[in-house]
Amino acid sequence: MHEVGMMQSILDSAVERAIQEGAHHINGVHMRVGAASGVVPDSLEFAFEVAKKGTIAENAWLQTELVPVVCYCANCDLEFQPVDLLYECPQCHQPNCELRQGKEFELAFLDVS
């Protein structure tokens, strides 16, 4: 389950940042997760429970914000939300358009004390 590893590294840097800021506890972690990141939100919750054990984030809540997929077509200079995984432009039907948003797996902010 790769979510655990991904969550572990996110939490590692969160803990590091919190300690640098002089915090003693992480109360909450807010994350941005892209719809095309390949991460399953349900397993994220589980991964968080595993990763936070024994850290200063032990009692922290997790909030995830789902970021929708946005593509860009260079032909039409158009940004669009793809209907499927082909990322096809709705105007010129060019496939595999550039993914501008939706692969996020990142820390948005921390609630520390």
Provide the binding-site residues for Zn ion, judged by CB under 5 A.
73, 75-76, 89, 91-92, 94
Q: Residue 40 Cβ, how far from Zn ion at the closest point, in Å? A: 31
Closer CB to Zn ion, 29 or 89, in the complex: 89
β-sheet with 98-101: strand ranges across? 78-80, 70-73, 98-101
Residue with tokens 């902010």: 109
Q: Residue 110 Cβ, how far from Zn ion at the closest point, in Å? A: 39
Q: Residue 102 Cβ, how far from Zn ion at the closest point, in Å? A: 18
Closer CB to Zn ion, 8 or 94, in the complex: 94
Q: List the structure tokens of 11.
A: 């939490």
CB atoms closer than 10 angstroms to residue 70: 18
Q: Which helix (H) or strand (E) holds 11?
A: helix 2-20
Closer CB to Zn ion, 21 or 77, in the complex: 77
Q: According to DSSP H, which parts of the chain are helical? A: 2-20, 41-52
> Which residue's beta carbon is nearest to the bound Zn ion?
89
